Structures are given as C-alpha cells and as structure tokens.
Amino acid sequence: MKIVLASKNSGKLEEFNYLFKNTNFELIPISEFTNKEIEETGTSYEENAFIKAKFASDISGLPSLGDDSGLEVEALNGEPGIFSARYAGEKGNDNLNNNKLLDELSLKKDKSAKFISILSFLHPELKISLFSYGELFGKIINSPRGKGGFGYDPIFQIKNSKLTLAEVSKEKRMKISHRTISTLKMINLLNESKM
C-alpha cells in the first residue's frame, strides 16, 4: 500500500523510510503532490498529526501519515511542546531553538525532559483513522554534543546513558527514538488492520 508522508523535513523522511523499508508499505513524500506548507493549527500533538494526515490525504486521494513531535521540559511546564519547531519564532532554526531553550533553562536545577512523537494514519476510502504514541526520556545538557540527528538531539542526553541523541549511532538512534517507538507501533496497527 502506498502512503503519503505529510512531511518535508529531510531528517524525518530519512528516519521514516528507514523504519518502513522492510514492510509492505511504500512511503511517498508529500512534495510529490504539493509544495504548500501545512499549517499546524492544532492545540495538541494528536490534532497537528491529524491535520497533516488529512491535508496529505485530501491532496493525494491516498492513505496518509501525519506526525507531530516535540520536546517537553519538566522545569518549563512542558515547553516547548507542540511549538518545538517554532520555539525561537517562525523564522527560527535548530540552532536558535536550542539556544533559546538553554537560556530558559540556565537558572533551573531540574533539566529532565522527554521527546514525544504522535503519528496519525488516515485511509480516505476505508474511513480508518489510527494513532500511535512514542516517548524517550532524558535531560537537557548545558552545551551541544554530537553531530548526528537534528533538532534538539545535540542537547538531549538519553536517560541511563552518558550520550546525547546526536552522539549515538544512527542504528542505535533508530532503535530507541520516540519516532521509532511510535512508527513501529503504527506499522503493527497497519498490519493488524489488514488493509
């Protein structure tokens, strides 16, 4: 089955393709149908993931997969949360987001945090909607380490590890990440639903 992936983020595309490679599902990037930006107007990860999946499904007529993910920091009451990608503003980037987060946390003792990933699958003909959830616990460190991954990975130290998500190998990251957990759950749901 062909599934349109409602993301243009190259890091995410690479991870999803890696996770789906030995399945009966073929991922097609939304860029093959449109270059329009999908507005994330939801108030939760679930809403944003569904908005993306619905947009991709409407524009392609195919089953679709939307994702929303974010970093939640305990001492900042769960911020940046659903605004993780836009934490430093609409024109922000990974560097600016990371710097803003480190500034906000500079006087806080508790640095515990978790990554969250929500996936939303939509099948327009069968009227099927599925959700899956994954999380990875850790803490924020004071300065970036590692060259792998993207986003907040260089300042996120994995729980029970001395390494950041940007320091572990791609193979290791693809075993433990929040996105891996939610994706493997989704693949199971898709297989169980026998579409």
Kindly provide the residue ranges of all beta strands, DSSP E only, lying in 78-143, ordered along the sequence: 112-123, 128-140
Total residue length of the chain: 195
Q: Measure the CA angle with vertex 136, ends 135 and 141; round to 5°.
A: 140
User: β-pairing, 64-73 with 2-5?
Assistant: parallel
Structure tokens at 164: 């950041």
SS3 4: strand
Which residue is listed with tokens 């060259």? 147
Assess whether 68 carries a catalytic annotation: yes
The whole-angstrom separation of Cα 82 and Cα 183 is 18
Query: What is the greatest pairwise CA distance in the chain?
Result: 52
Query: Alpha-carbon distance 170 to 149, whole Å?
Result: 8
Pairwise CA distance, residues 6 & 29, whole Å: 7
Which entry of 58, 67, 68, 110 is annotated as an active-site residue? 68
Which are the catalytic amino acids? Answer: 68
